[in-house]
Structure 1
């Protein structure tokens, strides 16, 4: 599935919810379904700078696609990173770098986050793309 197709699916899923409380619950559930990150990746070098909570993000290139794994100490933030990994994990570095993130605006996520969480969201996307650049260069 392409990044654009995944983003369109997410937009459809979010449109089914009546209000933002239901969307927050959905994000929290997404976070709960995030596979547990290996403890060896919960190190300072994998911490995303600019997030209010602690968010660890690790990536590796496997069979030409980037595999991300992540965790957070905050349940909503964990849901946000899970949403981003749903979009960007298992994609080629080039596709990740070329992808836009308009779906975030379309589902209204950024406007329903506190300013510090919104900054954290931007930092997460930036780090996802930085890893893609590094892995593309390595490949």
Structure 2
């Protein structure tokens, strides 16, 4: 079972039967994310492979994975919020063991994202997995 914040998203998606409502929920999640400090939006935190501009700035203090993230596209910022609910706050060893694709499949996102957005999501997952494995 995933973190409580991610489980809440799963429950919300089960309640929202229409994909348009789910899409709006993802966008709203992005809007609710705290803004990322502009100083963190540097080439080292930019995620390659995304159609839009995406930044993920990790920090692993005390063996716990945390990260700031942002995008210039609202749906992508919402996807960052979903990943934040899945990964953030976990010990790096646990974060490294997450099967993000299986967890995200519970949200049925793959069927409703463009191929470019799906590629970007995979790139974000690879970045977070790599950070967690390196820190573990």
Name the TM tier (shorter chain): over 0.9
Q: Contact conserved, 1:60 with 1:135, CA < 8 A, in 2?
A: no
Deviation, 1:5, is: 4.5
Could you tell me which residue of structure 2 aligns to residue 135 of structure 1?
135
Could you tell me which residue of structure 1 aligns to residue 40 of structure 2?
41
Q: Contact conserved, 2:41 with 2:55, CA < 8 A, in 1?
A: yes
Aligned length in residues: 135
Alignment partners' CA distance in 2, 1:95 and 1:6: 16
Could you tell me which residue of structure 2 aligns to residue 121 of structure 1?
121
Q: Contact conserved, 1:31 with 1:81, CA < 8 A, in 2?
A: yes
CA deviations 1:19-69 (Å, max 9, x no partner) are: 111001000000001111111110011111111101100011122211111
Q: Contact conserved, 2:3 with 2:85, CA < 8 A, in 1?
A: no
Deviation, 1:4, is: 4.9
Normalising by structure 1, we get a TM-score of 0.90
Secondary structure of 2:56's match?
A: strand
Alignment partners' CA distance in 1, 2:24 and 2:84: 18
Give the gaps of 5 or more residues in structure 1: none
CA deviations 1:52-98 (Å, max 9, x no partner) are: 10110001112221111100000000000111011101111111111
Could you tell me which residue of structure 2 aligns to residue 109 of structure 1?
109
RMSD of aligned Cα (Å) = 1.4
Normalising by structure 2, we get a TM-score of 0.92
Alignment partners' CA distance in 1, 2:4 and 2:85: 11
